[in-house]
Amino acid sequence: MRIGDDHLILGHRLSEWCGHAPMLEEDLALPNMALDLLGTARMCYGYAAEIEGGGKTEDDYAFLRDGTAFRHILMVEQPNGDFAYTILRQFFFAAFMHPFWQEMTGLADPRLAAHAQKAVKELAYHIRHSGEWVIRLGDGTPESTRRMGEALDALSPYVGELFETDSISIALTTAGVLPDMEVVQRQFDATVAQTFRAATLPDYAPEFAHSGGGRGRHTE
């Protein structure tokens, strides 16, 4: 459910750019990435409905829950802001989910492992596309550099929540259903460091980390 919620909410945020992106290419790319995310959300909710039974469908999870019942990370629900903010948020999320799904391909749940094969390919594109923009904006004009720097300052405090664990996630990792977050974080850090070097951006090192999304505490 948490994975589904992350993808559903970020997919909706990206879809808000449809018709408003700064160029035609992005008017196509951002909604297409949103559709990839919504596809993963549908898979997660459909699988959850099968497990829970009782006539549940994916719509029950997507549309018929109170806001506090959602368990997505806080980063994905933040308003889009400007293009630099949206792109950096997408890069951070893709840099996390790509190694997450890579690790999932070899784990115990066959349904999730099968979807992981597809998700890895989608997220490789998300990383490439958003990463190229991070470099272009970070190492671009004074204005684009300023905007990317502001986006980094705003988003850095949300990164730590990507790797939070609790008793549920630890139990699922022990059972071989979820990957080891330390492995995922090492790959995430390597991807971010490589891209930030090319973008002439500083390392993200927030003094404060937002938390609470996984417990239903949301900003809006």
Contact residues for 86 (Cβ-Cβ < 8 A; gap 6+): 13, 14, 17, 30, 80
110-156: pLDDT as tens digits: 999 999 999 999 999 999 999 999 999 999 999 999 999 999 999 99
Q: For the chain, which residues make up each domain, given as ranges?
A: 2-215
In this predicted structure, what is the pLDDT of residue 216? Answer: 67
pLDDT attached to residue 21: 87
The domain over range 2-215 is classified in CATH as 1.20.1260.10 = yes
Tell me the C-alpha to C-alpha distance, in Å, between residue 30 and each of 87, 129, 152, 189: 9, 10, 20, 24
Q: What pLDDT shows up at residue 62?
A: 93
* Residues with pLDDT less than 50, the chain: none
